[in-house]
Structure 1
Amino acid sequence: MMLLRESSATVSAVTAFIYREARFQDEHQYEAWEKLWTDDGIYWVPANGADIDPEREMSIIYDNRSRIALRVKQLMSGKHFTQTPQSNLRRLVSNIELADEQPGADIAVASNSLIYESSLRDDTLWAARNDYRLRYIDGELRMAYKKVTLVNNSKAIYTLSFLV
């Protein structure tokens, strides 16, 4: 990722967006989180490494925009029993880096995250590298792509029944 010589306004807007997305996830604000996506959005959590082909190999999550909407509906249905009661979540986001921008292109962003989940099952830490492509639509940043590469994605993991 080539680092961008970006304006402070771009850095501030991107950082605020990433923090807002994390808050929506932690507070189970599913509708607000869904509104952050573009119509062609892709939400991907690979399994067994970071550089797999999601069209040919298994992923933990590989959602297009309609599947993102279905995931949100399921979480809001009250019938998502692995989230009854809902996990208490807090995430730390750090190392936000913007890649070199091309005029009119999506903004490539990467960050690290550490998610603390407290549930009836146990307390769990989830560490990940997040890659985003953000796009301005009607003056607002939106996610066109989010890839969450869990540090332990090559091991058996607990059910991910919340938004990472």
Structure 2
Amino acid sequence: MTALAHSFADASAPDLAKLEPATLHHQVAQFLYLEARLADTHDYDGWEALWTGDAIYWVPANGDDTDPEKEMSVLYDNRSRIGVRIRQLKTGRRHTQTPRSELARVISNIEIAEVRGPEVDVRANVLIYEDNLRGDTLWAARNTYRLRMTDDGFRLVRKKICLVNNNKPIYTLSFLV
């Protein structure tokens, strides 16, 4: 249990709005850095453990304000599909990831957008450097997250990755973004 989660251990639904803004921002940033490190180092089990049961992992195509139920997305995974994606990556038979990409991401401009009880909506910019046999690729994105405080600390409820160039063909996106 994280220190922040421990401080809410006796509450049935912690109210994150009661935290000092700097404390909340710091804890959110630490969680986003952890999620990035797990993805970059291909720690698939650790990354998958960060998600709630009602999670959505979404990469829109052709704009930021699309409706994933009516329009095409690069990815639109519920919790079950996140698990399938992880199992596929762990097989070692993803040919676009043989050998797997070396990844490093930078997260910046972290903003707390809204706090509702145990959940917080967050915006951040992300730059992912990918090195593989095809060469080097930079992926720039504007991410939005919904995090929920649980007994084990923050967990991802929703992650929306709006690639800056999502209006162009994306030849392969076979790693965790």
**What is the TM-score with the length of structure 2 in the denominator?**
0.87
Which residues in structure 2 correspond to 1:4-153 (within 5 Å)? 6-102=20-116, 104-153=117-166
Counting aligned pairs with the same residue, the percent is 57
CA pair 139-114 structure 1, distance change in 2 beyond 3 A = same
**What is the TM-score with the length of structure 1 in the denominator?**
0.94
What is the match of residue 157 of structure 1? 170
Q: Give the drift of 1:63.
A: 0.1
Secondary structure of the residue that 1:99 maps to in structure 2? strand
Give the residue type in structure 2 aligned to 1:38.
Answer: T
Task: Give the greater-gyration-radius structure (CA).
Answer: 2
Cα distance in 2 for residues equivalent to 1:132 and 1:150: 14
Secondary structure of the residue that 2:109 maps to in structure 1? strand
Cα distance in 2 for residues equivalent to 1:88 and 1:62: 24
Give the residue type in structure 1 aligned to 2:23.
Answer: A
Give the residue type in structure 1 aligned to 2:156.
Answer: M
Secondary structure of the residue that 1:131 maps to in structure 2? strand
**RMSD value, Cα:** 1.3
1:70-94, Cα deviation, whole Å (9 max, x unpaired):
0000000111111000101001110
1:41-86, Cα deviation, whole Å (9 max, x unpaired):
0000000000000000000000000000000000001111110001
Cα distance in 2 for residues equivalent to 1:105 and 1:50: 26
Give the residue type in structure 2 aligned to 1:155.
Answer: K
Cα distance in 1 for residues equivalent to 2:97 and 2:76: 20
